[in-house]
Structure 1
């Protein structure tokens, strides 16, 4: 695994959604570093990538309400425990659960294991609400997948939430998660 600046020199064999991610970032003039790696499906698999990128990958959880009418992309630090009840209170949505792969592909054009904030560029109708744990905003960098789980990128947190999110026409809701039941 080797850290490189910007997009890959050769796009051969790469999925369109990955290339669209690089096109999107390049079009905004946002600097990013990238690395290719074996498919990473779990936070444990991301540890080696984290070290090479010099950033802790965040957990990207795709959630929905019981009726499957409201969808959320929650970003939290990789080492933080997620408690549904704690989040439900803050966003006023009871009975949150993980959304199915069908909705993930429909709204974000992403498959399980590759969930990423970058998928919001594919949510043109703003169906998915972005939720970001306040602790992530304190970090210099944010690490994520470019819509596939065989590459990872890092972007300055300020660039991601000031420039990239505005260009995606998504606003974020900042939440405070402690991982404790009784909050």
Structure 2
């Protein structure tokens, strides 16, 4: 286990709200409205994908990486969900979505469109994207799993959700669709 604190208690209800950010509480309100079950695990800040490994073991899910990207002109923005053990190759994704010269979008755009700060990137941030400025890209291997993990717009809590709840309930409710992409695993010899 890592040297940061993880509350070993797993919750299936939203927190009381004391000391919680409004953007996090909006996620739980959405789950209540849509009858989406979840498992919640509270912990210290997890700023990187590596810091999430112990959390994912406790939640019994495969780690999911979320990247906030944009095109060179900063006119198109993307949220990419992929398995945590896949390497992101810009050229491979650019070809599939016909958007050359992808790069990581700045934190200013992340906060403006998703109300999320670096280290907290999550598909749940799309609920704050009322003007649909961000396109969701999901690697096909995420869709093969029963569950996935994400943050509720803050990286001091992790959630376990059903993939089917994301695709059938959450995305339609927040008026977003997804584009499925197929990113390859790097083969080591």
CA–CA separation in structure 2 for the residues paired with 1:158 and 1:6: 19
1:171 to 169, 173, 177: 177
SS of equivalent to 1:13: coil
User: Under a length normalisation based on structure 2, what TM-score does the superposition of the two structures give?
Assistant: 0.93
Identify the residue that residue 122 of structure 1 maps to in structure 2.
128
After TM superposition, list the pairs within 5 Å mapping 1:1-183 onto structure 2: 1=7, 2-8=9-15, 10-179=16-185
Does the 8 Å CA contact 1:120/1:170 hold for their aligned counterparts? yes
Give aligned pairs, total.
Answer: 180
* RMSD between superposed Cα atoms in Å: 1.1
Q: Return structure 1 stretches of 4+ with deviation > 6 angstroms.
A: none
CA–CA separation in structure 1 for the residues paired with 2:169 and 2:63: 20
Runs of 5+ consecutive residues of structure 2 not aligned to the other structure: 1-6
CA–CA separation in structure 2 for the residues paired with 1:3 and 1:51: 13
SS of equivalent to 1:85: helix
